[in-house]
Amino acid sequence: MLVAAALVPPTALLVPGVSGVREVLAAERRAALGAVRVVVSTRPDVVALVVPGAGPVRVGRMRPTLAAAGVDDADLGWPSRPTVGAGRVLVVDDVTAAVGLFLLGRAGWRGVVELVPVGGAGGAMLRMKGDELVRERPTGLVLVGGLSARHGPEGPLPTDDRAAPLDDVIAADLGDLDEPARARLTAVPSRLAGTLEISAWAPWQVLLGAVGGDPLGATTHRVSAPFGAAYVAVSWQW
């Protein structure tokens, strides 16, 4: 049973210390933490951390690192012990997953975490995966992914005029997540999402498979496009 879910941005800039002395994305960090705290507050039996990319599902006591992004972890605000989970320590060097673990740790989660990469599959298979994740026990989902990275000259990728209008529709539908919104999110083509570098596409397909009906509460914590990449932080409860 899905009890709560959150979607948060994937950028390492949410972690204090990554940008050096100058503080950036403070509002996005607060919004992302607020969304994850909604999931933690429901006290699920397990939190599934759903991230783009390939790899096996991992369960354990996870220690995040941003070494893959060229960042010295000694400069960061990581908790002094492995962030979340139980069992033997697993070093997580995928940047997107590390950001999700940082947010879970800061939100106070100390329970079971399943790290679920969901790259490479089609929408139908991803929705089946979502159904499987929540079938046996009360589960929270934390989805890590962004909207298009093609917003204007500051963007990390060349501008695409389709990005802003589509992102506006997606952000609104994620903020509602009622039945018509879910139908529209299901119908977003994977090829278009890939062209526009919408990394949240696969995670939200997992969410759609896990959802059993309209959320009892949906909160959009923030929608923004700093540095030409669009982010949304949103949470849902059932």
Compute the distance between CA of residue 141 and CA of residue 128 in angstroms, rounded to an integer. Answer: 15
- Helix 179-187 and helix 201-210, axial crossing angle in degrees, nearest 10: 140
Q: What is the pLDDT of residue 212?
A: 82
Q: What is the rounded (10 degree) CA torsion for 170, 173, 174, 175?
A: 120
Provide the pairing of β-strand 112-117 with 58-59. antiparallel
Model pTM above 0.75: yes
- The answer to whether the beta carbons of residues 145 and 199 sit under 8 Å apart is yes
Each residue's pLDDT tens digit, 157-183: 899 999 999 999 999 999 999 999 999
Which pLDDT does position 216 carry in this prediction?
85
Residue 44's pLDDT band, with cuts at 50, 70 and 90, is very high
Say how far residue 202 (Cα) sits from the centre of its chain. 10
The whole-number pLDDT of residue 145 equals 98
* Cβ-contact 116, 48 below 8 angstroms: yes
pLDDT value for 83 = 56
Higher confidence at residue 59 or residue 60?
59
- pLDDT of residue 85 exceeding 70: no
pLDDT tens column, 113-136: 999 999 888 999 999 999 999 999
Percent of the chain with pLDDT over 70: 93
pLDDT at 149: 93
Mean pLDDT of 46-53: 95
pLDDT tens per residue, range 179-227: 999 999 999 999 999 999 999 999 999 999 999 888 989 999 999 999 9
Does residue 84 have a pLDDT over 70?
A: no
